[in-house]
Chain A
Amino acid sequence: MIHAPSPHESDGPADPGGPDAATAAADPAARRRRRWLRGGFVALLILPAVQMVLPVVKDPKLEGVESPLAPLSWSVAAWSDGSLAAALDVRVRRAIGFRPVSVRLVNQARLAWHDPRCTLDNGEVFIGKQNWLFGRPYLDPYTNPARRLTDEDLRGFVRELRSLQDRLADRGTTFVLAISPSKCELYPEYLPDDVVEVRRRNDCRRDYDAFVELLAEEGVRVVDGPAIFRRLKSTHGEHLFSRTGVHWSYHGCLLFWRELLAVVNAASGLGIPIPEIVAVERDRARHADHDLGKMVNAFVPPGGRPVMGYPVVRVDPLPPEQRPGFLFVGSSFCWTLMDALYVSGSGRDVDLFYYNRTHYRGPDGAAPLEPGARFPRHRVCSLEAEAPDWRRALLEKDVVVLEMLEFMLPQKGWGFCGPALGALEQLADVPARRPPLARIAGGRDDASSVR
């Protein structure tokens, strides 16, 4: 039934004024109620600002790192052109009270629509089949695997790696290149069909394929994660990547670590005990195995927190004074790699050059950790602001592990090799300083690799 609109109608709600309102106004109770509502509205508006300054209720922080904001410019020019106001607007919006709960509410509502495309479109999480979560930065290199580097570029880089391996060996340090795998490459069956179809259309020989061939040619010691994981995927019962994690699972990482230690031991003669997996403990995904699940920033991530198999290891830790010193250079995959190091009780004097940008250090001689527990670390400095202590980083270490993601080859080892080679040259006359370690019989094998 269509009613003719009357001329006095408007978009606004009815005006509650009029004789009835006058009656209500005369009623003290009604007046009191209105007073309270008036105050209540102002209080409702101001509450987030109060929460921002004096957190009244617990407002759990959001997961993930937001891009840094430029420092405020308190100049007349910035005020005059509006850039100061714009910058303040962004700052207030980021800091305002109840933002975390607001973000979680919105994300939960979006998830309720069951459409991966609409979930967290600005975020880093991509939802695949059966609620498998993928890191968005990994998706583009998966769908577009075209070569970024020429064979010449790659060969130059590989030769640099070989040179570093040799120079370090001259100083008694073992170098290993660790290639970490991509979840998209290993588990494409959980990606949406249209994504896999794009990859199928674009499929070609990748930088990675050419790189591993050149590494073998040049004799660079490598632990080839993608190849190892492809092999383990068909033979091993546990997921090598967690459904809700961006990195290899703890289990997958421990398997990789075992391979890496075998290579290190074979190359160095060091007798680092290789942890033995004696049982698997089922538990809800821990820490890094659930980082993408947390990144969804919803109250309940898609599919909830998965149950994972955590390896129970048996290892005879070395006495603290015999533990080797490690330098890791690499991506966030190194965090779990270092957890595995501590689980196997072989950590002493552990440093991480995170993306070769930030220096982190682990505690000396820490007791072995439970599987899935976090390796304790502290930030030392920004490597962009301060030059690294090369003497400590190279001459006091027994093992240097350069970790690279299989699709981040264009980063060429995060720019570590060149400066490290330069430092080794400068420190040519400085003797290496490290405690004498027990070495297993059988000597060294300079070309050992695992693929």
Chain B
Amino acid sequence: MVFTSVVFLCMFLPAVLVVYHAVPERFRNAVALTASLAFYAWGAPRFVVVLVVSSLVDYLCSHALPARRGTRSGRLLLFAGVGANLAVFLYCKYMNFFVEQANQALAWAGAEPVAWTAIVLPVGISFFTFQKLSYVVDVYRGEVEPAPGFGHYLLYVTLFPQLIAGPIVRYSDVSAQLVRRQVDDEDFLTGVWRFGVGLAKKVLVADTLAVTADAAFGATAAAAVDPATLTRAAAWLGAACYALQLYFDFSGYSDMAIGLGRMFGFRFLENFDHPYVSRSISEFWQRWHISLSTWMREYLYIPLGGNRVASWRVYLNLWIVFLLSGFWHGASWNFVAWGAFHGALLSIERFARGLGMRPWPALVAIPRTIVLVMLGWVFFRAWTLPQAWGYLETMLGPTHGGATVGFAAIARPWTVPMLAGAAMLAVAPLWTRSPAWLGDWIVVPGTVHESRSLALRAGVCTVLVVASFVIVASSDFSPFIYFQF
């Protein structure tokens, strides 16, 4: 189930909210757990078993770990816990890719390909695997106590607001809330506001920009656009639309997750912080998908030695982290290339800093970062590596005569205004001291204007939710005038 489906918005969410808040506090975890399992089982019931069984393994492992901390058996147990999660993750997410690569190599060598039935990827496996890994490692490190009960742990893993697309929540951040939490009206309304904003970001902005991005790259792999047919303006427009689509899509989803969590009494950490105002790639990664960057730093970069090793090792570590980060995003060479690109940029930045080069002024540094990130997104969005190279060539290479698809051909009438509006929102900190000015302006609790601002906030939120519903409900209306065609 996705947050933008009619079933979720109009049935699942209101029903769960009503039941959750109607039952006594001691039953709320049970309601939340049941709802989360139902949420996951709706679209992918067969994977629920995998999720529950692997969580049970983590739970048992975590309870055996504290007594063996620092011992060989403890390390073996940690290895087993981490290994079990990674095995499921690697098998489900990458086996198709590895077999495909192996078959290509075999075909090249003239050998018979390996017979293989493609595995269906369990939804959200990238996110919940990282959560489960962080739990096992944190328990081993002694940074957190094992979950008091399997139900608590299963709720942590499956909690539906963040199950499918993050943010990646560490157990230590919510362990207390899993045992006891309260939701007052203010929490609830803040969650509603946040959810409404996230829904609008996804449905009204991201999905609208996606139309132009799809026209530039191709909506499906089979319909991938040959970049040689695009003019340079069209290619840049497509890349810009995709850069903002991705940001509003992902940050919108995170907003919805954070808002939903708040409605149920959970406080998740922020996942985005206006990444397109970053002055460097390293700052970008402090602002983009913060929960993943944090995870990578805590569980990969620092264990590899972090900054406390020789310079060449630091560069290598950065590369490894970003290569793996790219591969985490998807089993394809495009993501590997994207990770390598960011790893290279970070290494270059670090090298330049090491040489004592002064940072560029914001007026130059921010556009430079945006352009570099946009170029990276081409790898992320393109269907194949050759398409990505071709696209970059169109964006940056010499003009060629074969281009037939121009700016006007891929732009819809609303594209430019929407792009401009989205860009203004994305870089809000550049033109307002308080990027959350809308929220500040609308809600000033406890003041004489409190009732007015509350009504205003409710009004804006209603408009956003209703407008999003209108788009979602009308999305696949494609009738025939008469039935025979």
Contacts and interface: CB of A to CB of B under 8 A. Distances in A.
B174 interface: no
Given A66-B479, A98-B473, A105-B474, A35 B362 contact: no
Contacts of B366: 2
A114 B414 CA distance: 11
Given A13-B438, A99-B473, A295-B481, A44 B462 contact: yes
A9 B274 contact: yes
A45 B476 CA distance: 20
A71 interface: no
A81 B412 contact: no
B480 interface: yes
B11 A49 contact: yes
Contacts of B435: 5, 9-11
A204 interface: no
A90 B7 contact: no
Contacts of B429: 3, 5-6, 9
A38 B195 CA distance: 13
A20 B479 contact: no
Contacts of B363: 2
Contacts of A21: 186, 445-446
Nearest to B461: A41
A103 B481 contact: no
Interface in A11-25: 11-25
Contacts of A34: 185-186, 188-189, 454
A98 B468 CA distance: 13
B470 A25 contact: no
Interface stretch (A118-126, A209-217, A225-233, A248-256): A118-126
A16 B445 contact: yes
Contact of A66 (B258, B413, B478): B478
Contacts of A357: 484
- For chain A, the bracket of interface size reads 35 or more
Contacts of A23: 445-446
Given A5-B429, A24-B450, A93-B473, A67 B185 contact: no
B162 interface: no
B255 A89 contact: no
A354 B483 CA distance: 10
Interface stretch (A57-65, A183-191, A317-325, A362-370): A57-65
A33 interface: yes
Q: Which of B189, B194, B277, B477 has the most CB of A within 10 A?
A: B477
A192 interface: no
Contacts of A10: 270, 272-274, 435-436
A81 B46 contact: yes
Interface in B1-59: 1, 5-7, 9-11, 13-15, 17-18, 42-46
A320 to B, nearest CB: 31
Contacts of B454: 30, 33-34, 37
Interface string B274-285: 100100000000
Interface of chain B: mostly helix, strand, loop or mixed: helix
Given A25-B184, A118-B412, A123 B473 contact: no
B444 interface: yes
Contacts of B118: none
Interface string A77-108: 00111100110111011001011001101110
Contacts of B44: 82
Contacts of B477: 62, 66, 99, 103, 122-123, 297
A86 B447 contact: no
A331 to B, nearest CB: 7
A451 B137 CA distance: 86
B117 interface: no
A113 B14 contact: no
A102 B474 contact: yes
Contact of A13 (B274, B436, B472): B436
B445 A102 contact: no
A124 B479 contact: yes
B470 A105 contact: yes
Nearest to A79: B45
A398 interface: no
A96 B473 contact: yes
Nearest to A90: B476
Given A66-B477, A96-B473, A25 B186 contact: yes
Nearest to B471: A106
B210 interface: no
Contacts of A385: none
A140 B17 CA distance: 50
Interface in B448-485: 450-451, 454, 458, 461-462, 465-466, 469-485
A11 B273 contact: yes
Given A9-B429, A35-B185, A67 B480 contact: yes
A179 interface: no
Given A67-B478, A90-B476, A355-B484, 20 more contacts: A3-B429, A5-B429, A9-B273, A11-B270, A13-B442, A17-B445, A19-B446, A38-B185, A38-B192, A45-B9, A63-B479, A65-B481, A92-B6, A102-B470, A102-B471, A114-B413, A123-B478, A332-B482, A332-B484, A354-B484
Interface of B: 1, 5-7, 9-11, 13-15, 17-18, 42-46, 184-190, 192-194, 197, 251, 254-255, 258, 270, 272-274, 277, 362-363, 366, 412-414, 429-436, 438-440, 442-447, 450-451, 454, 458, 461-462, 465-466, 469-485
17 contacts: A1-B431, A5-B273, A9-B436, A11-B255, A12-B197, A13-B440, A41-B461, A48-B469, A65-B479, A82-B45, A98-B473, A105-B470, A115-B413, A122-B477, A123-B479, A137-B485, A297-B477
Closest A-B pairs by Cβ, 5 of them? A13-B439, A64-B479, A20-B446, A34-B185, A122-B478
